[in-house]
Amino acid sequence: MEAFNQYQIDFMRHFFTLILLLTTLTVSAQENSETPKKKFLFEGSVDAYHRTNLTAPNDTDQIAPATSFADTSGFSLGMANLIASYEKGKVGGVADLVFGPRGDAASATVLNQLFAYYNISENTKITIGKFNTFLGYEVISPTGNFNYSTSYLFSNGPFSHTGLKADFTLSEDFSLMLGVFNQTDVTEFNPDGSYAVGAQLGYSNQFLNLLYDKAGLGFEIDYTGGFDASEDFYIGINAAYADNEGEGFYGVDLYPQYSASKSLTIGVRGEYFQTQSDAVSDDPSVVAVTLTGSYVVDEDLIIKPEFRFDTGSEDIFIDTDLMATKSLGSFVLAAIYKF
């Protein structure tokens, strides 16, 4: 135990030395003598939905894809999201609160995010506190996703981290993030003295993400990006691999989206996801296709009708006759209001 603790101490010393070195290299040599400007922002969203199983009964909450959120039949609530931010000069803070079923599933408390930051220079930013994960294409808030329901990759990866991170703008195209965090998704305290480390290398909105958390998720490598196929057609991409001593998952998601008009966008999420375990000989997998329409009403209200079809390699669902089956079809109609 003493050797392990000494290893942790040495690791943390080297990590913070690296951040300090990179920070020093990017600090501006001149101080701004002007009075710092103050900026306060308050924003958020509310969302609700109706979900119907098309190939299974609707008299139980348990018949749904094994993904986060939007998994209850009938009229259901998403969450209320309230975000307050304050900035004065180079420093600031954010308090991001969530209330409702979606928020409860994403966070152990109402504190979705709570962090302070210091813009040391135009190219260097230090953040400490709780913040949403840097891995993956999707996020907790429905305003940040095109599809209303979420993917298997998102649902099995980390949601949030509590710790310290440093963001560096290396050039017009390149960016770098380095961070040290508590155990993944244990965001209110450190239960056992272990730490996770993460890094993100960005190039022109393409991101390679790394996370190592021996006590929690293990090792995950994740790519998130996309490209414009044309002026009206965009394709998003997410691929990830995670392993923790023989237990983990891997998969890939494609997000083609077509802007039919200023108000209407149509998109598909196609996903292949597979768990892996040394304890079983045949790892189960699932293919999920989600067709979503996004109609913007007067800039602030978004209506999203969504058809979803999940097919597993094993009988993981039931049909209308309560017989085991490999597939499940469902429909969601969601409303999201931003303010």
Where do the domains of the chain lie?
A: 14-25+40-338
* Secondary element (H or E) of residue 289: strand 285-297
Residue type, 222: D
* CB-neighbour burial class of residue 160 (10 A; exposed 0-12, middle 13-18, buried 19+): buried
pLDDT at 147: 98
pLDDT value for 2:
44
Neighbours of 247 (CB within 10 A): 14
* Per-residue tokens: 43: 């924003």
Q: pLDDT means per 10 residues in the chain (339 residues)?
A: 52 60 50 71 98 92 89 96 97 98 94 97 97 98 98 97 97 98 89 94 97 92 97 98 95 98 97 93 94 95 98 95 95 98
CA nearest to 195, candidates 34, 4, 331: 4
Q: Which fold has domain 14-25+40-338?
A: Porin (2.40.160)
Write down the pLDDT at residue 282: 86
pTM above the 0.95 mark?
A: no
**pLDDT at site 188:** 86
Listing DSSP states for 61-98 in one string gives TT-S-SSSS---SEEEEEEEEEEEEEEETTEEEEEEEE
